[in-house]
Structure 1
Amino acid sequence: MVAYTSFDSFLLFGDSITQFSFDINDRGWGAQLANAFQRRLDIINRGFSGYTSEQALHLLPQILPLTTTPTNSKIQFLTLFFGANDACLPPSSQHTPLQRYEQNLRSLIDMVHSPTSPIYSPHTRIILICPPPVNEEPWAKECEHRGMDMNRDWEVSKRYAERCLSVGREYSERNRQKEEGLCQVDVIDTWGVMMDKVESGERTLSEFLKDGLHLAAAGNDVIFEEIMKILRYKYPSWDPAKMLMHGPWWRQLDLDHPETDLLICSNKPSAPGPAV
Structure 2
Amino acid sequence: MKVFCLSLLMILLAGCASGPRIDTSHTAIGQSSRVQYVILHYTSTDLAHSLQLLTEEQVSSHYLIDRAPATIYQLVDENRRAWHAGESVWQGRTWLNASSIGIEMINAGYTEGPQGKVWQPYSQAQIDALIVLLKDIVARHELPLGSIIGHSDVAPQRKVDPGPLFPWKQLADAGLVPWPDAQAVVNRQVLYAMQLPDVAWFQAQLARQGYVVDQHGILDEATRNVIAAFQMKYRPARYDGQPDAQTAALLDVLNTP
Query: TM > 0.5 between the two?
Result: no
Per residue, is there more helix in 1 or in 2?
1
